[in-house]
Amino acid sequence: MSTTPGTLPEALAQRLADSGLRSTPQREIVYSVLLAKRDHPTADEVFARVKTDLPTISLATVYNCLETLVQCNLVRSVNFERGPTRYCPNLRPHAHFHDEQSGSTHDIDLPPELLEQVKHVLPAGYDAKSIEITFRGKAQPGAR
């Protein structure tokens, strides 16, 4: 009664309903495609994979479904920030804080020992040349 084949779509339906949204074949298949091969596909790649099951789906729908899944916290988008690349000349080790209200980005200094600790989470065989840490949230207007 709990591991029937219908379970996954139902869990998805529940999550969508929590956000006042509907479960649709398109959303289910997009989600299942992401679960089936966890290689961080692009929207275009998802589009290609979904089409084998649902040849009539449109790219716009794939974008819509992905956006929906991200908003329901079922999926994360890896390039968190859409839009143009930004540049900074601060070369000291620092993270970025992206203030969602104002859209501005602040530098956050990072103690070198923290960076070391972060590096230590890498399993053997991984050699990181750079680490990028980005926070998103609210910054009090007072904070710079």
Partner DNA sequence: AGTGAGAATTGGAATTATTCCAAGGAATTT
Partner DNA sequence: AAATTCCTTGGAATAATTCCAATTCTCACT
CB 131 within 8 A of CB 115: yes
Q: Based on CB atoms, which residue is closest to DNA, 59 or 133? A: 59
CB of 55 to a second copy, least distance (A): 21
**Residue 10 found at the interface with DNA (CB under 7 A):** no
Which one of a second copy, DNA, none is in contact with 8 (Cβ closer than 5 to 8 A by kind)?
none
**Residue 96 found at the interface with a second copy (CB under 8 A):** yes
**Residue 46 found at the interface with DNA (CB under 7 A):** no
Of the candidates 113, 111, 115, which has an alpha carbon nearest to the alpha carbon of residue 132? Answer: 115
Q: Based on CB atoms, which residue is closest to DNA, 61 or 105? A: 61
**Residue 66 found at the interface with a second copy (CB under 8 A):** yes
Q: Whole-angstrom Cα distance, residue 47 to residue 37?
A: 13
For residue 95, the cross-strand partners are 108
Q: Which of 9, 21, 41, 54 binds a second copy (CB under 8 A)?
A: 41
Task: Give the range of 3-11, 19-27, 51-59, 96-104 binding a second copy by CB under 8 A.
Answer: 96-104
Q: What's the N-to-C CA distance of the chain in angstroms? A: 55
Contacts 24+ apart (CB under 8 A), 11-17: 12/74, 15/72, 15/73, 15/74, 16/68, 16/72
The first and second tokens of residue 93, run together, are: 């080790």
Give the interface with a second copy as residue ranges (CB under 8 A).
31, 34-35, 38-44, 46, 66, 69-70, 73-91, 95-97, 100, 104-111, 114, 117-118, 121-140, 142-143
